[in-house]
């Protein structure tokens, strides 16, 4: 099975269908993991009539293979490490520290670039759906949820268009629910399930957030009439 999604927007619409039971709830917030998760989450938020915000996460790429995740960090100081990968690759403390420092700098840059002075959406007591464009090791989603827990949401739903078979079990006791449109037994990478998996730009992230803010403004104006 391959090329199931035309692009991230199509994946978002299919994911929204899988999350339809949450549509219209007034306690619902959708948090996107930039950059690739943002256009997916935009479609989810649109379909479910939910607020959209971002939760910046950075994968910690292995020293000699940056595509291989040995962990992840998230806004708020959350750090998730894939201990088995660190042992297998024999990553030294110095190497790990260097990667963490580099990614923390990039995380701070993205926070400023995407959010500016806009404060994060309040999630305390809310149902929060955390969206990415797919899940491979799960490191980024783990870091995101660990960061989110400190903000005291009522319920956390981890949601992706595609993940390896059985991936949901790693979120038992971490997320309240795991939703994946596809969970194929043969999984080499997220990109194999997209016809278009081109990199999402900073400009596209900002455009998605601006679109979501315009919806919220229109809804407030409509409810005030």
At 30, which CATH number?
Answer: 3.40.50.2020
Residue 112 belongs to some domain of the structure: no
- What mean pLDDT comes out for the span 96-111? 94
Asked whether residue 15 is assigned to any structural domain, the reply reads: yes
Residue 172 lies in a domain: yes
Q: Sorting pLDDT into bands at 50, 70 and 90, what band is 217?
A: low
| Number of folded domains that form the chain | 1
Q: Assess if residue 108 is contained within a domain.
A: no
Q: Is the pLDDT of residue 218 over 90?
A: no
DSSP secondary structure letter of residue 24 = T
Tens digits of per-residue pLDDT, 121-169?
999 999 999 999 999 989 899 999 999 998 999 999 999 999 999 999 9
Q: Report d(CA 64, CA 101) in Å as an integer.
A: 17
Instruction: Say if 94 falls within a structural domain.
Output: no
Which of 225, 2, 42 shows the shortest CA–CA distance to 132?
42
Taking residues 78-96, report their average pLDDT.
Answer: 91
Structure tokens at 139: 């490191």
* Residue 209 domain boundaries: 8-55+120-224
Exposure pattern of 35-52 as b/e (b: 16+ CB <10 Å)? Answer: bbbbbbbbbbbbbbebbb
Confirm whether 214 is domain-assigned: yes
Q: What is the pTM of this model?
A: 0.89
Q: Sorting pLDDT into bands at 50, 70 and 90, what band is 178?
A: very high
């Amino acid at each position: 099975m391959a090329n199931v999604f035309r692009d991230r927007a199509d994946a978002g619409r299919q994911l929204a269908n899988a999350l339809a039971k949450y549509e219209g709830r007034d306690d619902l917030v959708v948090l996107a993991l930039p950059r690739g998760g943002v256009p997916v989450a935009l479609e989810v938020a649109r379909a479910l009539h939910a607020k959209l915000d971002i939760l910046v996460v950075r994968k910690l790429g292995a020293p000699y293979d940056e595509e291989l995740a040995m962990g992840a960090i998230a806004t708020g100081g959350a750090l998730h490490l894939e201990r088995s990968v660190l042992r297998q690759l024999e990553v030294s403390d110095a190497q790990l520290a260097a990667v963490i420092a580099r990614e923390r700098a990039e995380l701070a840059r993205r926070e400023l670039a995407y959010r500016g002075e806009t404060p994060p959406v309040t999630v305390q007591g809310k149902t929060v759906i955390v969206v990415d464009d797919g899940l491979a090791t799960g490191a980024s989603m783990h870091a995101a949820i660990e960061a989110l827990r400190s903000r005291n949401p009522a319920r956390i739903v981890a949601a992706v268009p595609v993940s390896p078979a059985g991936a949901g079990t790693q979120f038992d006791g971490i997320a309240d629910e795991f939703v994946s449109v596809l969970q194929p037994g043969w999984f080499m990478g997220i990109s194999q399930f997209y016809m278009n998996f081109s990199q999402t730009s900073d400009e596209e992230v900002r455009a998605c957030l601006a679109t979501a803010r315009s919806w919220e403004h229109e809804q407030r104006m409509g409810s005030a009439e």
